[in-house]
């Protein structure tokens, strides 16, 4: 398996522009997570989905952020409009969660977002 | 809310020596999981070791072992025979047990330098 695939790897944009980050989870995994990493705040969970349904979006900073998971193999994180303080590394991760146990979390390589 | 604290922002070790990274956490739950992740400069998040709270035996993975003190809410990582490739950021993380939230709560990380 290719693992969790994120695109783009790097994104540079100007303040006010719309940014869309993409994620393809590992085939067969039913939970997907979006994390943001900054020097100041470390790794923070933004939102996670289970079976394509958002379960916890309490970490989404504000209305400028939105996430979707239209099917089991694709998710997007959108920022509109973007601001310089959104500059960070955004990670997508996936895992298989069953009624009995949760398997380990696999991370993508992250998207380095720079908002100028 | 659960919190994870890593009190050592930076640590260094000589190649072939042993180093211990500290982690404490706060939770009112009795069932949970604890993890150590490694993040090298490539930015990839790599699972190093995992501990289930109900297991009294400390987890071990080759040169990596943990000292899990449930009563003290302490979860330290010991790296034996340190290698240059061990240089990275190390993150301690907490996740609730079965039936709880699937999200990982991370500490701020410890930067490990390995000196030749």
| A89 contacts B45? CB cut-off 8 A | no
Q: What is the largest CA-CA distance in chain A?
A: 46
Distance (Å, whole) CA B84 – CA A53? 42
Task: Report the pLDDT averaged over residues B76-101.
Answer: 92
Is residue A100 predicted with pLDDT exceeding 70? no
Is residue A93 within 8 Å of A110, Cβ to Cβ? no
Q: B1 or A90: whose pLDDT is higher?
A: A90
The reply to whether residue A45 touches residue B91, judged by beta carbons under 8 angstroms, is no
Instruction: Match 């100007």 to its residue by tokens.
Output: A14
Radius of gyration of chain B (CA): 14
Please tell me the predicted confidence (pLDDT) of residue B102: 79
Mean pLDDT of B84-109: 90
Write the pLDDT tens digit of every residue in A50-98. 999 999 999 998 899 999 999 999 999 999 999 999 999 999 999 987 7
pLDDT tier, B12 (very low <50, low <70, confident <90, very high otherwise)? very high
Closest residue of chain B to A57, computed from CA coordinates:
B103
């Amino acid at each position: 398996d290719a693992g969790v695939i994120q695109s783009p790897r790097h994104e540079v944009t100007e303040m006010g522009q719309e940014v869309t980050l993409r994620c393809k989870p590992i085939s067969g995994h039913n939970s997907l997570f979006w994390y943001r990493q900054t020097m100041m705040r470390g790794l923070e969970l933004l939102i996670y989905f289970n079976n394509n349904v958002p379960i916890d979006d309490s970490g989404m900073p504000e209305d400028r952020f939105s996430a979707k998971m239209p099917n089991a193999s694709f998710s997007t994180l959108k920022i509109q409009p973007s601001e310089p303080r959104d500059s960070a590394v955004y990670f997508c991760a996936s895992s298989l969660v069953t009624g009995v146990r949760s398997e380990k979390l696999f991370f993508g390589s992250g998207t380095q977002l720079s908002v100028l | 809310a659960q919190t994870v604290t890593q009190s050592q922002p930076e640590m260094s070790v000589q190649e072939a020596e042993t180093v211990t990274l500290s982690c404490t956490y706060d939770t009112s739950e009795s069932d949970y999981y604890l993890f150590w992740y490694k993040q090298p400069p490539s930015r990839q998040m790599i699972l190093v070791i995992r501990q289930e709270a109900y297991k009294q035996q400390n987890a071990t993975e080759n040169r990596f072992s943990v000292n899990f003190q449930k009563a003290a809410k302490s979860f330290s990582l010991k790296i034996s025979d340190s290698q240059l490739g061990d240089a990275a950021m190390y993150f301690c993380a907490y996740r609730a047990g079965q039936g709880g939230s699937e999200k990982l709560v991370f500490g701020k990380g410890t930067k490990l330098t390995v000196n030749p």
